[in-house]
Structure 1
Amino acid sequence: MVRKKLAMLGLALLMTASLTACGGGGNGGKNNASSAEPSGNAGASNSANNTAQEDKTPVTFTYFNANSQVPDIDSNKTEIGKKLEEQTGVNFKLQFPVGDVNTKIGTMIASGDYPDVLAPDTAIDKILDAKAFIPLNDLIEQYGPNIKRVYGPYFNQMKQADGNIYFLPFSAVVGDYLPAPTIGQGAFFIQRRVLKEFGYPKIKTLDEYFDLIKKYNDAHKSEGLTGFTSLTYDWRTMGIFNAPMHLAGYPNDGDVIVDMATHKANVYADDDYTKRWLKKLNEINNEGLYDKSSFVNNYDQYLAKVSSGKVLGFFDYEWEVDQAIQNIRKTGNDDLDYMPLPIVFDQNTKDQYLDPNSFVDNRGVGITTSAKDPVRIIKFFDNMLKEENQIMIQWGFKGETYEVNDQGRFYLTPEQIEARKDNATNQKVGFTYFNYSWPMYGTASTLSDGNAYAVNSQPEVAQASFTEGDRNILEKYGVRTFSELFAAPDDRPWYPAWSISIEQGSPAEIFQQKSKDVKLKYFPKLVLAKPDQFDAIWEEYLKEFGKLDVKGFESTMDELIAAKIAKVTGTGN
């Protein structure tokens, strides 16, 4: 990890120096002004002098953020937004989706009418294909010293095929990589009362996990408990699809697991890992432990089921189920809360649930061809990336939303911790609107003084935020934080493979959709079948899955992963 960071820092100088040279892409390295959309490049072409550098004339831009569904607002109606407006003169009309995001983005593309700034989330490839973002290379070179400081080590990864940078991602690690004290990602969750009843046993394997759940359920037959539940609604299929790779000792690379030595991709949906997982679910279903409604519940119904306190276990990503966990915590009954565990198939398997240091380059925010003044916008972005503003955006205001002790360490008082849970307070301060979807440090970053960039990654905040029940169960397992239960992640320069852009309409994208359809058709049959029917249905599933171009998809992923490694390590073009 350290060697990688040093290499990346060394690349920063090279990438910064080459930013302008590569900006022309296919036009022989010329200034990209000659090929960019006029409206998108007007700011760059007028920026030879810096007379507007300190321009604070009030201006309001529009920003559509597809990543969140919160009330629309003018940014200067928040405390953070007001402070940023005082520094720059810039205000944003922040707009968020109502209904289907792809429909909204499709309407923009059809009309050619875009907001000034756009974070299109999963529709980013559509925006790139529509050439709706302007190139940022020249703007960054002339007006982005802080953008270069933060994103410099990643410029090579941020470039599209034509050599241009069109958007700024949200995951650039600055300083030292700092994993969160809590999980945030995938785990097998189990109710704490199950562990409590049996003396807080240390369990590692899937068999041990389900044996404990069965033992507890058998002792509490009259309570109407659900042993294990899953979610397969819309795009939220990870609880069923992803578990096999984690159980086998791999992190979340999406549809594939990637060999550490060869870097070759393997689709695991048709291998023994997935068969072993589904056969276990089939087994617990026939023991009356599996929630049969898992395959028909929508997201709200799933959250309601977990919130009920009747579910003993599930596999999921904490960010997806956090709302339900918070609902349980509000009851004050710690026994109903959940413990995340790094469960694997076999005792000798090293878990890899925690995310390695990574740079997700297929999500971000860009300036559109409709932007009225790209220079003012890029300067606003650059100003946001000053460390003092990154502190304000994440931590708020010293003495109000956070404190600093005599050693210079940031912390929250109990009152400030509670305030962070209040939606109205978060909207008023601006945390709701500025914590994500802007040019920003990655959440695993550290500040120049050693404090964590992200509030929840600060050990002092984590310790103070833990309930008495949290501290008790951590003590029982001999750790200070929940993440200490999990193995440190191995360095994977391609990670995460799911973030590598796949061309829309390509055979690889078609494979992803068709394979999802086949899995959604057969996984319920496999899990809910009688035990003596499982193998026959599995063979039928393999025959159907085998009609897809598995090898072609793996070959495409091999090429994309190799290209990603080359970019990350600086060995590519």
Structure 2
Amino acid sequence: MKNSKKLLIICLSVVLALSFVLAGCKKDDRGEPSPTSSNDGGGKENLMTITAFISRAGTNPTKDNRIYQKIKEAFNVEFQFEYVVGEIGERVGTMTAGGEYPDIIGVQSNEANQFIDAGAFIPLEKYINDKENFPNLNRHYGELINRIKHDDGHVYIMPNYGVHHGEHRQNENWGPAFWIQIAVLKEFGYPKIKTLDDYFDLIEKYVEKYPEIDGQKTIGFIVLTDRGRDWTLRNAPSHLAGAPNDGIVIVDQETKVAEVYQHKDISKRYFKKLNEAYNNGLVDPEGFVIDFDQYIQKLASGAVLGLFDQRWNFNKANEALHQQGKYDRMYMPVPIVFDESIRDWYLTRPELNVNSGFAITTSCKDPDRVMRLFEALLDEEWQKLLQWGEEGIDYLVDEDGMFYRNDQMRKEQQSPDWKLANKADDLFEFAPKLEGTYSDGNATSPGLQPIEYFEGLTEPEKELLTAYGVQTQGQLHSTPPENPLYFPAWSINIPTNSVPATVSQQMQDLAFEYLPQIIMAPTSEFESLWADFVKKHEELDIEAFEKHINEGIQRRMTEWAK
């Protein structure tokens, strides 16, 4: 039986088995009642529109999007998305002040506490613990329930990443790194780049050789200053020092004691290098004033050689470069450190993405039906549709039952316009998902499939990996050790309006006030500005913040060991 017929049977079976309750989640924009979930007497529920706020910039899928249409056909459910425009904090503040929300919110950790403290989300543990009616969700999160509970004992957010099934594979870095254009590495014969000095030396040589790229001024390095994505400005020093991504603290792996580092010597070392690079004309001054969309546009132009960021955050630029055929202007990670005695730890084992994922709001009229939808979408057949697509259209199956794509299919996957019509990325990004391998041995996503990964790369990417003697992007990094039990510290809950929250905000304010000035200052003014920056930190109750984080680490070390 063809896969599409098999999927239809499964879909219909799921619909009948779920017996969705009879209520709607919204009124339509005209003020008229949307068709509710009242049964029409024929056994099928009426159309339900789920409103969803996605806490990142985005573009609505096409109305005839192929995957959303299949969801609608199976469950009589459709989605209406809203995305971040401008500062995420402003939009969150507006929602929490008014107390009116969409049905579901795709949350990222930075804004999670603000929503929770405002009472915006409903508890979800009753669904997760219900093995009989929600077996997929129970199997997915049940053993992790202590890790995903908020401090008040409730589960409000379903983590979107970090729950693995079957074999784990890690072919790419979707997290933090220093990134550099493939063209720069190729130009100089794919040299070994180990340190921060190596990185900027190479960029400087390339800028000197090619002051323009496609008629645009070559930009050596860019620093995004966006409060909702503050890691691009603040977090690099910890990685250069060989620490994993614990956010704005470094945790001593022997004592498990956390310490704020943004005003310490390791940060001074990094920002002094950026100051030097700025005064050498390598750092883009516009990076300190442009917004996120403009940042992506700059990267997508192909004129920016390097950056520090998390891959998932800027990947739209990589996709745009691919679509333009500028394959050698795409970015590869270089896991640099301060000196060669330090082992890089950019790549980590998959961690539970606590406080990031979908939450159901108090405004949703039918959370049961929404949760049953998420339960159904965790089925392997739906996961294959969401991650691989449709057999024969988006992927093929070899004689051994392994999934793969041909060149045309791979090309389509790199097109933002094609994806808006043929993938359900916004739903999938924040929804519970399978990671690892399916029961038939296939990787859950194409990027993790051994026979698909390398063939799916562009020729410049293949050439680069071959030159460095590796087969995957992940192999450019040191093999990560096991994650510390508490990891990551950045996801430790900090209650809104608490002293630690106030100190955290004060430190962010200082970073955004001082660090751009420090980077752009004349070399002669660096030391005095840095001294002022440190002095301002000494006036804060940083000990209270560190105490809270360390208590959270110890609590996790105890509770997560159970």
TM-score normalized by the length of structure 2:
0.83
User: Could you say which residue in structure 1 is the equivalent of 2:38?
Assistant: none
Is the 8 Å Cα contact of residues 358 and 493 (structure 1) preserved in structure 2?
no
The alpha-carbon deviation at position 426 of structure 1 amounts to: 2.8
Q: Secondary structure at the match of 1:464?
A: coil
Deviates more, 1:265-274 or 1:203-212: 203-212
Asked if 1:160 is matched to 2:150, the reply is yes
Is the 8 Å Cα contact of residues 486 and 553 (structure 2) preserved in structure 1?
yes
The alpha-carbon deviation at position 280 of structure 1 amounts to: 1.1
> Which of 173, 184, 187 is matched with 2:174 structurally?
184
Is the 8 Å Cα contact of residues 345 and 480 (structure 2) preserved in structure 1?
yes
> Which of 240, 243, 268 is matched with 1:250 structurally?
243
Is the 8 Å Cα contact of residues 154 and 172 (structure 1) preserved in structure 2?
no
Rounded Cα–Cα distance in structure 1 between residues aligned with 2:194 and 2:540: 35
The alpha-carbon deviation at position 63 of structure 1 amounts to: 3.0
Alpha-carbon spacing, 1:149–1:298, altered in 2? closer, same or farther (3 Å)? same
> Which of 534, 549, 560 is matched with 2:526 structurally?
534
TM-score normalized by the length of structure 1:
0.82
Q: Which amino acid aligns with 1:327?
A: A
User: Could you say which residue in structure 2 is the equivalent of 1:23?
Assistant: none
Rounded Cα–Cα distance in structure 1 between residues aligned with 2:327 and 2:415: 21
User: Could you say which residue in structure 1 is the equivalent of 2:36?
Assistant: none
Asked if 1:498 is matched to 2:486, the reply is no
Rounded Cα–Cα distance in structure 2 between residues aligned with 1:517 and 1:567: 33
> Which of 501, 506, 519 is matched with 1:514 structurally?
506
User: Could you say which residue in structure 2 is the equivalent of 1:95?
Assistant: 81
Rounded Cα–Cα distance in structure 2 between residues aligned with 1:337 and 1:171: 25
The alpha-carbon deviation at position 265 of structure 1 amounts to: 0.7
Is the 8 Å Cα contact of residues 54 and 426 (structure 2) preserved in structure 1?
no
> Which of 306, 311, 328 is matched with 1:318 structurally?
311
User: Could you say which residue in structure 2 is the equivalent of 1:558?
Assistant: 550
Rounded Cα–Cα distance in structure 2 between residues aligned with 1:422 and 1:517: 38
Q: Secondary structure at the match of 2:414?
A: coil
Alpha-carbon spacing, 1:106–1:201, altered in 2? closer, same or farther (3 Å)? closer
The alpha-carbon deviation at position 220 of structure 1 amounts to: 4.3
Q: Which amino acid aligns with 1:526?
A: I
The alpha-carbon deviation at position 555 of structure 1 amounts to: 0.8
Alpha-carbon spacing, 1:304–1:430, altered in 2? closer, same or farther (3 Å)? closer
Q: Secondary structure at the match of 1:427?
A: helix
Residues 260-295 of structure 1, C-alpha deviation per residue, up to 9 Å, x if partnerless?
121111111011110110111122223333323332
Alpha-carbon spacing, 1:305–1:119, altered in 2? closer, same or farther (3 Å)? closer
User: Could you say which residue in structure 2 is the equivalent of 1:170?
Assistant: 160
Residues 477-499 of structure 1, C-alpha deviation per residue, up to 9 Å, x if partnerless?
11111110101222222222222
Residues 446-487 of structure 1, C-alpha deviation per residue, up to 9 Å, x if partnerless?
222332212322233321221111111111111111110101
After the TM superposition, which residues 47-62 of structure 1 pair with which residues of structure 2 at under 5 Å, given as runs?
56-62=44-50
User: Could you say which residue in structure 2 is the equivalent of 1:544?
Assistant: 536
Q: Which amino acid aligns with 1:80?
A: I
Rounded Cα–Cα distance in structure 1 between residues aligned with 2:254 and 2:451: 38
Q: Which amino acid aligns with 2:421?
A: K
Q: Which amino acid aligns with 2:506?
A: K
Rounded Cα–Cα distance in structure 2 between residues aligned with 1:167 and 1:61: 21
User: Could you say which residue in structure 2 is the equivalent of 1:407?
Assistant: 400
Q: Secondary structure at the match of 1:65?
A: strand
Alpha-carbon spacing, 1:114–1:243, altered in 2? closer, same or farther (3 Å)? closer
User: Could you say which residue in structure 2 is the equivalent of 1:148?
Assistant: 138
Asked if 1:64 is matched to 2:56, the reply is no
Is the 8 Å Cα contact of residues 115 and 370 (structure 1) preserved in structure 2?
yes
Alpha-carbon spacing, 1:568–1:227, altered in 2? closer, same or farther (3 Å)? same
Asked if 1:456 is matched to 2:436, the reply is no
Show structure 1 runs of 5+ residues with no match. Answer: 1-38, 41-53
Q: Which amino acid aligns with 2:532?
A: E
After the TM superposition, which residues 361-380 of structure 1 pair with which residues of structure 2 at under 5 Å, given as runs?
361-380=354-373
Alpha-carbon spacing, 1:410–1:565, altered in 2? closer, same or farther (3 Å)? farther
Alpha-carbon spacing, 1:143–1:369, altered in 2? closer, same or farther (3 Å)? farther
Asked if 1:80 is matched to 2:70, the reply is no
User: Could you say which residue in structure 1 is the equivalent of 2:559?
Assistant: 567
The alpha-carbon deviation at position 202 of structure 1 amounts to: 0.9
The alignment of Structure 1 onto Structure 2 pairs a total of residues equal to 515
> Which of 375, 385, 389 is matched with 1:382 structurally?
375
The alpha-carbon deviation at position 107 of structure 1 amounts to: 5.5
Q: Secondary structure at the match of 2:52?
A: strand
Rounded Cα–Cα distance in structure 1 between residues aligned with 2:223 and 2:84: 27
Show structure 2 runs of 5+ residues with no match. Answer: 1-23, 26-41
The alpha-carbon deviation at position 537 of structure 1 amounts to: 2.0
Q: Which amino acid aligns with 1:94?
A: Q
Rounded Cα–Cα distance in structure 2 between residues aligned with 1:111 and 1:525: 37
Rounded Cα–Cα distance in structure 1 between residues aligned with 2:102 and 2:297: 36
Is the 8 Å Cα contact of residues 68 and 96 (structure 1) preserved in structure 2?
no
Is the 8 Å Cα contact of residues 497 and 561 (structure 1) preserved in structure 2?
yes
Q: Which amino acid aligns with 1:357?
A: P
Residues 130-169 of structure 1, C-alpha deviation per residue, up to 9 Å, x if partnerless?
4343333334415211111111221112223443333322
Rounded Cα–Cα distance in structure 2 between residues aligned with 1:253 and 1:499: 8
The alpha-carbon deviation at position 104 of structure 1 amounts to: 5.4
Alpha-carbon spacing, 1:319–1:135, altered in 2? closer, same or farther (3 Å)? closer
Q: Which amino acid aligns with 1:96?
A: E
Is the 8 Å Cα contact of residues 105 and 120 (structure 1) preserved in structure 2?
no
User: Could you say which residue in structure 2 is the equivalent of 1:128?
Assistant: 116
Is the 8 Å Cα contact of residues 204 and 343 (structure 1) preserved in structure 2?
yes
Alpha-carbon spacing, 1:80–1:539, altered in 2? closer, same or farther (3 Å)? same
Alpha-carbon spacing, 1:549–1:400, altered in 2? closer, same or farther (3 Å)? same
Is the 8 Å Cα contact of residues 285 and 527 (structure 1) preserved in structure 2?
yes
Alpha-carbon spacing, 1:90–1:372, altered in 2? closer, same or farther (3 Å)? farther
Asked if 1:287 is matched to 2:275, the reply is no
Rounded Cα–Cα distance in structure 2 between residues aligned with 1:118 and 1:190: 34
Q: Which amino acid aligns with 1:536?
A: S
Alpha-carbon spacing, 1:131–1:198, altered in 2? closer, same or farther (3 Å)? closer
Q: Which amino acid aligns with 1:541?
A: F
User: Could you say which residue in structure 2 is the equivalent of 1:396?
Assistant: 389
- Percent identity for Structure 1 against Structure 2: 36
Rounded Cα–Cα distance in structure 2 between residues aligned with 1:59 and 1:428: 21
More helix by share: 1
Q: Which amino acid aligns with 2:445?
A: A
Deviates more, 1:446-455 or 1:66-75: 66-75
User: Could you say which residue in structure 1 is the equivalent of 2:29?
Assistant: none
Residues 151-197 of structure 1, C-alpha deviation per residue, up to 9 Å, x if partnerless?
12211122234433333221242314634422222222223333233
Residues 313-346 of structure 1, C-alpha deviation per residue, up to 9 Å, x if partnerless?
2222222332333333344344433332011011
Alpha-carbon spacing, 1:404–1:225, altered in 2? closer, same or farther (3 Å)? same
Is the 8 Å Cα contact of residues 107 and 430 (structure 2) preserved in structure 1?
no
Residues 550-569 of structure 1, C-alpha deviation per residue, up to 9 Å, x if partnerless?
11111110011222233322
Deviates more, 1:192-201 or 1:554-563: 192-201
After the TM superposition, which residues 249-268 of structure 1 pair with which residues of structure 2 at under 5 Å, given as runs?
249-268=242-261
Residues 19-53 of structure 1, C-alpha deviation per residue, up to 9 Å, x if partnerless?
xxxxxxxxxxxxxxxxxxxx99xxxxxxxxxxxxx
> Which of 184, 187, 201 is matched with 1:194 structurally?
184
Alpha-carbon spacing, 1:522–1:414, altered in 2? closer, same or farther (3 Å)? same
Rounded Cα–Cα distance in structure 2 between residues aligned with 1:114 and 1:561: 32
Alpha-carbon spacing, 1:308–1:95, altered in 2? closer, same or farther (3 Å)? closer
User: Could you say which residue in structure 1 is the equivalent of 2:336?
Assistant: 343
Residues 108-150 of structure 1, C-alpha deviation per residue, up to 9 Å, x if partnerless?
5555554444434454334333434333333441521111111
The two structures, once aligned, show a CA RMSD in angstroms of 2.9
The alpha-carbon deviation at position 103 of structure 1 amounts to: 5.5
Q: Which amino acid aligns with 1:155?
A: I
Alpha-carbon spacing, 1:395–1:56, altered in 2? closer, same or farther (3 Å)? farther
